[in-house]
Chains A and B, each alone.
Chain A
Amino acid sequence: NAGVTQTPKFQVLKTGQSMTLQCAQDMNHEYMSWYRQDPGMGLRLIHYSVGAGITDQGEVPNGYNVSRSTTEDFPLRLLSAAPSQTSVYFCASSYDRMAGNTEAFFGQGTRLTVV
């Protein structure tokens, strides 16, 4: 059972480039979310999904795009990278309706630097 898998672990982008951060879970969780972690700011919610085909914005959605075509995958797209998007990004999944579990499981993070 791999849990939540994020790729890549590290990435350096130039300003204006685009890229996709990948997130996959194998726990049949309905909810998936993307957060960014910055010093002193905690984890801030970017986008989340409560099921395949359903997404919604979080606290800091600007500059990011998501889609949820399958239960397992929830990619995060940076449309045109900016230095302000330098951060550590975490994907999380939660809520197995059958098991009644509610706690979130996190990937190991993607450290993104935009130069």
Chain B
Amino acid sequence: AQSVAQPEDQVNVAEGNPLTVKCTYSVSGNPYLFWYVQYPNRGLQFLLKYITGDNLVKGSYGFEAEFNKSQTSFHLKKPSALVSDSALYFCAVSQAGTALIFGKGTTLSVSS
């Protein structure tokens, strides 16, 4: 069975500092990996994905993530955080023919 773990319920960073939101996954074959962001009272918005190819993927709003197969991780990163990045972030995994399975989410709080 597929599963996703986001070990931190909340991440706090100061504006201008780099940020990392952690994600590890468990699947039996090749994973499709995703990051989504949710702002208050809104649906989920797609940030980036890894399907195959380059382990470093770049996405919306300056975010990037690195796929590490040996560590089964897909951490979300941004070199310089903005206050407007404050939101709930979800990591998700799927395989061909299956639906997305989500982690429990990490609240990112960026202080000015």
A binding-site residues for B, Cβ under 8 Å? 31, 33, 35, 40-45, 48, 50, 58-59, 90, 92, 94, 102-109
Contacts and interface: CB of A to CB of B under 8 A. Distances in A.
A106 B44 contact: yes
A107 B43 contact: yes
Contact of A33 (B32, B45, B100): B100
A19 to B, nearest CB: 20
Q: Counting chain B CB atoms within 10 Å of each CB, which of A31, A35, A42, A108 scores highest?
A: A42
A23 to B, nearest CB: 12
Contacts of B97: 50
Interface size class, chain B: 20 to 34
A105 to B, nearest CB: 7
Nearest to B51: A102
B87 interface: no
Interface of B: 6, 9, 32, 34, 36, 42-46, 49, 51, 90, 92, 94, 97-105
A106 B104 contact: no
Given A42-B90, A42-B105, A104 B100 contact: yes
A58 B44 contact: no
Instruction: For the complex of A and B, list the 3 residue pairs with the smallest distance between their C-beta atoms, beginning with the closest.
Output: A42-B104, A48-B99, A106-B43
Contacts of A31: 99
Contact of A90 (B6, B43, B92, B98): B43
Contact of A41 (B46, B51, B104): B104
Contacts of B90: 42-43
A106 B6 CA distance: 21
Nearest to A38: B104
Nearest to A59: B101
A76 to B, nearest CB: 14
A90 B99 contact: no
